[in-house]
Amino acid sequence: MPTLDASTHQALARELHEAERAREPVTQFSRRYPGMTIADSYAISQAWLALKFAEGRRVIGHKIGLTSRAMQVAAQITEPDHGTLLDDMLVADGATLEASRFIVPRLEVELAFILGKPLKGPGVTLFDVLDATAWVTPALELIDGRIELFDRDTGAPRKVFDTIADNAANAAVILGGRPVKPEAIDLRWAGALLYRNGVIEESGLSAAVLNHPGNGIAWLANKLGAFDEGLQAGEIVLAGSFTRPVACAAGDVFHADYGPLGAIGVRFV
């Protein structure tokens, strides 16, 4: 249950909106409001989305985060989190991005599910997800921090409450490579090598995402179903990273090699 009132949710959402515009992070909400709950965090995120909708943005999908066991232990939670993808977050494969557009940009390696049918819980299973998925394609998620990653006074890392309020840290998504039907390959064994300036920084297999990346999609459909919401046909759903985040800076060139699923490239200036 939320412990903060709606006016506080809205005020903190406005802080996030201004932080993104000014490229200047705000202090951690969890330290300012130590009694806040995860329900408060989602309410703040929804209030921020309302500001974006008022400016003409539209939903194109969703992201799932904190899907690996290691990340959940580090964040002291027992389930993933989720955020919303908006139309201005979609970046073309091979694009050149200005690093100064973001605050602390980092890339994660994922698979994206493109839905051909709607999904709504309760009771959505992995089999329902595979049946509803039109395509699975490689994706890079660019995450950012509108809330300080480390407190400016104490150096304490931010908590999951901050990350969720910050729209699960989402900033952009790059789709590329070779789309495949979900039954075409064993998605657990889909993997990637992430190169930064010709050096492999990270590698991994998508089985690290809840044993199968489709399990995250099922989790999200059931989570949203509790609020009478669901996933829509045509939406992009990022299943969760199977590598740690890799920092990005001006001059960096990234190449994500997914083997038989192709590759994605992006450059920062």
Helix (H) or strand (E) holding 262: none
DSSP label of 72: H
CB 132 within 8 A of CB 115: yes
Give 104-143 as a DSSP string: S-EEEEEEEEEESS-B--SS--HHHHHHHEEEEEEEEEEE
Q: Quick one: 59-268 is in which CATH superfamily?
A: Fumarylacetoacetase-like, C-terminal domain (3.90.850.10)
Q: d(Cα 240, Cα 141) in Å, to the nearest integer?
A: 9
Q: Which amino acid is at 164?
A: I
DSSP label of 242: S
Q: How far apart are the two ends of the chain, measured CA to CA in Å?
A: 43
* Ordered mean pLDDT values, 10 residues apiece, the chain (269 residues): 95 98 97 95 97 98 83 67 97 97 96 98 98 98 96 91 95 98 96 98 95 96 94 97 95 98 98
Give 174-218 as a DSSP string: EE-S--B-TTSS-GGG-EEEEEETTEEEEEEEGGGTTTSHHHHHH
Tell me which residue of 72, 260, 250 sits closest to 160, measured CA to CA. Answer: 72
Q: d(Cα 186, Cα 21) in Å, to the nearest integer?
A: 41
DSSP label of 240: -
CB 85 within 8 A of CB 63: yes
List the domain boundaries for the chain: 59-268
The structure tokens 């904190």 sit at 66
CA diameter of the chain:
51
| Tokens encoding 98 | 């200005």
